[in-house]
Amino acid sequence: MTMRFVDEFRDAELGRTLAREIRDTVDPGRHVKIMEVCGGHTHSIYKYGVDDLLPANVELVHGPGCPVCVIPMGRVDDAIAMAHEPGVIFTCFGDMMRVPGSRGSLLEAKAAGADVRMVYSPLDALRIAKQEPEREVVFFAIGFETTAPSTALTLKRARAEGVPNFSVFCNHVTIVPPLRALLDSPDLRLDGFVGPGHVSTVVGARPLEFIAADYGKPVVVSGFEPVDILQSVLMILTQLRDGRCEVENQYKRVVPYEGNLRALEVMAEVFALRPHFEWRGLGFISQSGLRLSDDYAPLDAERRFAVPGVRIADPKACQCGEVLKGVIKPWECKVFGTACTPERPIGTCMVSSEGACAAYYNYGRFAREREVV
């Protein structure tokens, strides 16, 4: 079945034309590093081989925008502890089931007898709670501002419908604080950003203006099809050539500059900012995570169940942190494709299909030669 607004953005001839324009626009004497913030972009880039169309001096660096990849091990341990509570049905998205904690994953907890179920949306989790009123149903909420509205609406629905056996283990995060942390990081030099398209449908493009205003880097909010990404890269290179730095919106067919005000209102009602939240590989970042607001505290799984709440250091061999910051490429990690594979992941970047390592691995991009320094 064809889908309008999708197929035309996978047009190969248009892609080749854009690639030619990119070669004509970039300064041949300059190595340009562009970070794609969102895991969805990373997935698309490797699925369609977008980077193969770029000249050697235009490098795409993968950012921290995969919600699965940034979950620290301690939170997975907390999730597993809840899943083992008597009477609990623990629900989560498919990818989260395979993320390793310090003593296994939710999938392994399921094998050991915990009732862990994969759902497609928080609404599915609420439906289970209504179907099984004698059980406690917990939803493992993860994601940026793209999935947070979905969790918020489900919580509002749960309260309105009076579903007492439903609660949420909230791990939602926000995109701007980690971007600021990356821009402040001394070991990273970036020339521009492919901005997160779907996060921007919610928050709008305005919250990204600080990247241009405070750090002097161009930002182009981009769609996810290969033609979208190539066009966004071209727009960034054009800004650099013309000596401009501003926020542009390539994804106007979906993203209004002001975002979705109704979504922001619902999120403001249901969530409150945590003082700080731990990100895998990036450490604690101030005001980067969401908890349930005091109004919704009775639906907060962290208040309903006792969890270990212990911080667990990332495995020593794993270099997800450097991959998430774009300091190294996935294939430069010591365990990439050997000890760490999508079947037996050590790090989160190898778990989610949006993770940079899994994207490289799944699309046959693990045979590249390592750069010799």
- The smaller minimum CB distance to another protein, of residues 96 and 212, is found at 96
Helices 148-161, 261-270: axis angle to 10 degrees equals 60
- The smaller minimum CB distance to another protein, of residues 1 and 56, is found at 1
Shortest distance in whole angstroms from residue 255 CB to another protein: 7
CB 31 within 8 A of CB 66: no
Closest C-alpha to 169, from 102, 236, 71, 59: 71
How buried is residue 51: exposed, middle or buried, by Cβ count under 10 Å (0-12/13-18/19+)?
middle
Q: DSSP for 151-171, please give it.
A: HHHHHHHHHHHT-TTEEEEEE
Two tokens, residue 101: 């904690």
Shortest distance in whole angstroms from residue 303 CB to another protein: 23
- The smaller minimum CB distance to another protein, of residues 131 and 308, is found at 131
- Expressed in angstroms, the distance from the first to the final Cα of the chain is 48
- The smaller minimum CB distance to another protein, of residues 256 and 275, is found at 256
Q: How far apart are CA 27 and CA 289, in angstroms?
A: 39
Shortest distance in whole angstroms from residue 147 CB to another protein: 4
Query: What are the residues binding another protein (CB under 8 A)?
Result: 1-6, 39-40, 43-44, 47, 66-68, 93-96, 118, 120-124, 142-144, 146-147, 149-151, 153-154, 197-198, 201-202, 224, 252-256, 260, 262-263, 266, 352-354
Torsion angle (degrees, nearest 10) of CA 186, 190, 195, 196 = -50
Shortest distance in whole angstroms from residue 197 CB to another protein: 8
- The smaller minimum CB distance to another protein, of residues 141 and 233, is found at 141
- The smaller minimum CB distance to another protein, of residues 123 and 188, is found at 123
Shortest distance in whole angstroms from residue 29 CB to another protein: 34
Shortest distance in whole angstroms from residue 214 CB to another protein: 27
